Amino acid sequence: MDRLKIRGGKRLEGKIYISGAKNAALPLICASLLTDEKVILTNMPMLSDIKSMNLLLEELGTVIESKDEIIDGNPCKNYTYYTPEFKSLVAPYDFVRKMRASYYVLGPLLARKGYVELSLPGGCAIGARPMDIHLSALEQMGATIEIKNGYVIAKAEKGLHGAHLVFNIASVGATCNILMAATLAKGQTIIENAAREPEIGDLAKMLNSMGAKISGIGSSVLQIDGVERLRGTIHKVIADRIEAGSYAVAAAITRGRIELINAQAETLQTPIKILRQTGVNIEENERSIIVDAKGCTLTGQDIITDYYPGFPTDLQAQFLTLMLTANGASMVTETIFENRFMHVPELLRMGANINVHRHASAIVRGVDKLNAAPVMATDLRASFALVLAGLIAEGETVVNRIYHLDRGYEKLEEKLRSVGADIERIKDSEEE
Ligand code: EPZ
């Protein structure tokens, strides 16, 4: 398995181009299943999760064409998805176990074909991550749901009908799945306590461009009036706010200055506010964010992760790492997932001072420096936290199992090298 070697101590300065958002692209790809016309997605990131989702859709019968393009200065992919008919309505275990977001085929297949077999995703490193909210909502919309041999078998022979749904948790995945299903349901669907993440707004915008009738976009109450059919469209994926936030921390932790090109400041208001409170200077521009921590003294800040627009759980590990060498203490509380501090044991090996209570909160006390060490990546965002620690640790840090990183960070080492990091990828074959 590939590894990353990082020699710490370099101040990062320059420009980083932010790619299209993984967590927008994944549901957008599945939304293409709702029509028998062509859907073109531009500004798509080159990530292993996108490749996995494309393989799943080809398994179902989708014809996919791709080409390279440059958008807003950033090399990216342009994909055309075309599913005039299906050769399968089954999302097999092998696909779903590798990538939980495979479950985004549930809503579209049920809405368009009235039948789908989906392997249950099972748990993952950061938590049990059930899908009860998805399934109970679809039952309220007229689907029959059966769980058999680890698969969900969902049927809606007479099609889905609208329903007034109240989510007990503002689930991102459930909001996306039900939003897609409701576009072709008979009548009106209301989703109360819908998630408000910008990636959901991007999905709703594309669905409306396909002929859907969605209102309340960006709010926690979505209203969808079902239509007979959806047509093809062309859609540019929004910038990845989590990638942008991750590199903002890279600038702050190395006391450098990075301009995040194409980052959308309006989707990062809470992290920007907290970083400013920490002592980092941040300039918000129309098409970029400038993070300047040169000469800054950083002080510990408390954060509590929350649903959007609160502090994103996907930036918790990165922010906790920033606090490791800040002055004073910082309380980091994780409210979304039950096991999202797996970066902590690895950071402790690098000399950090962190105390975790019951997987829920961590008290961080700033130390003068971190020491390089071989560390193990566990999940996507925790892996980026280890890279951040390596950027400031004295010596050479080796981050193992970086396939986690390749799921969500496009060209990670190239982007960091372009702003002065001393980082290289050791390919598995090079080790022999
Ligand atoms: C999405 O996961 C993201 N993944 C996650 O990003 C992100 O951390 C999460 O939203 C929260 O923002 C993608 O978009 C592909 P949820 P999702 O449904 O949809 C519980 C990354 O690093 N829940 O909002 O799975 C669940 O267990 C990934 O890019 C139920 O109980 O998140 C969790 O505790 C990691 N029942 C909470 O809700 C359900 O039916 C939030 O989950 C669904 C969820």
- pLDDT tens digits, residue range 76-113? 999 999 999 999 999 999 999 889 999 999 999 999 99
Average pLDDT of the segment spanning 159-175: 97
11 compared with 125, residue with greater pLDDT: 11
Residues 399 and 367 in one domain: yes
Same domain, 136 and 114: yes
Pocket test for ligand 1, best of 50, 100, 129, 168 (most atoms within 8 A of CB): 129
Could you give the angle at the alpha carbon of 332 between the alpha carbons of 329 and 334, nearest 5°?
A: 170
336 lines ligand 1 (CB under 6 A): yes
In sequence order, the 6+-apart residues with CB closer than 8 A to the CB of 149 are none
Which residue has its alpha carbon closest to ligand 1 atom 25? 173
**Cβ–Cβ < 8 Å for 324, 352:** yes
pLDDT in tens, 184-201: 999 999 999 999 999 999
394 pLDDT exceeds 70? yes
- End position of a domain, from candidates 200, 226, 252: 226
Residues 275 and 327 in one domain: yes
Ligand 1 nearest-atom number relative to CA 408:
29
To test ligand 1's pocket by mutation, which of 177, 336, 343, 381 has the most ligand atoms within 8 angstroms of CB? Answer: 336
pLDDT value at residue 73:
86
* 398 CA distance to ligand 1 middle (Å): 29
Q: Does residue 374 carry a pLDDT above 50?
A: yes
Interval 243-289: pLDDT, tens: 999 999 999 999 999 999 999 999 999 999 999 999 999 999 999 99
pLDDT tens column, 223-241: 999 999 999 999 999 999 9
The CATH number linked to 381 is 3.65.10.10
Domain count, the chain: 2
Percent with pLDDT over 90 in the chain = 91
Residue to probe by mutation, ligand 1, list 172, 305, 316, 409, most atoms within 8 Å of CB: 172
138 and 160 fall within a common domain: yes
pLDDT at 379: 87
Q: How far is the CA of 389 from the centre of ligand 1 (A)?
A: 26
Q: pLDDT band for position 72 (50/70/90)?
A: confident
Report CA(171)–ligand 1 centroid distance (Å): 6
Q: What is the pLDDT of residue 431?
A: 53
Judgement on whether residues 273 and 409 belong to the same structural domain of the protein: yes
Which member of 76, 124, 176, 296 is catalytic? 124
Tell the residue nearest (CA) to atom 43 of ligand 1: 131
Ligand 1, atom 34, residue with closest C-alpha: 337
pLDDT at 430: 64
Q: Within this chain, do residues 166 and 277 fall inside the same structural domain, yes or no?
A: no
Distance of CA 241 to the CA centre of its chain: 9
Listed residues 226, 253, 286: the one ending a domain? 226
Range of the domain at 366: 3-15+240-426
Closest Cα partner for 242 from 264, 259, 257, 227? 264
**Measured in Å, how far apart are the chain's first and last C-alpha atoms?**
11
Q: Is the distance from the beta carbon of residue 133 to the nearest atom of ligand 1 less than 6 Å?
A: yes
Task: Give the pLDDT mean for 391-400.
Answer: 96
Residues 198 and 247 in one domain: no
The answer to whether residue 184 is domain-embedded is yes
Q: How confident is the model at residue 52 (pLDDT cuts 50, 70, 90)?
A: very high
Residue 312 alpha carbon, nearest atom of ligand 1: 12
Average pLDDT taken over every residue of the chain: 96
Q: State in Å: Cα 420 to ligand 1 middle.
A: 34
Same domain for 56 and 197, yes or no, is: yes
Inside any domain, residue 233: no
Last residue of a domain, one of 175, 203, 226: 226
* More confident position, 378 or 32: 32
Examine the domain organization and report whether 258 and 204 are in the same domain. Answer: no
How many Å lie between the centroid of ligand 1 and the Cα of residue 14?
A: 33
Q: Where does the pLDDT of residue 1 fall: very low under 50, low under 70, confident under 90, or very high at 90 and above?
A: confident
Evaluate: CB of 196 within 6 angstroms of ligand 1. no
Among 232, 115, 119, which Cα is nearest to 181's?
115
258 in any annotated domain: yes
Same domain, 222 and 252: no
- Residue 237: which of 413, 8, 24 has the closest Cα? 24
Question: Does 235 reside within a domain?
Answer: no
- Residue 176 appears among annotated catalytic residues: no
Sort 185 into a burial class: Cβ within 10 Å, 0-12 / 13-18 / 19+: buried
- Whether 77 maps to a domain, the answer reads yes
Residue 431 resides in a domain: no
Residue 203: pLDDT band with limits 50, 70, 90: very high
Mean pLDDT over 378-403 rounds to: 95
Clarify whether residues 77 and 204 are in a common domain.
yes
Q: Is the pLDDT of residue 432 over 50?
A: no
Regarding whether 8 and 43 lie in a shared domain, the answer is no
Q: Give the span between the Cα atoms of 403 and 390, in whole angstroms.
A: 17
CB-ligand 1 contact for 77 (6 Å cutoff): no
**Helix axis angle, 316-323 relative to 241-253, nearest 10°?**
10
- Across 285-306, average pLDDT: 97
Report if residue 232 sits inside a domain.
no
Say if 360 falls within a structural domain. yes
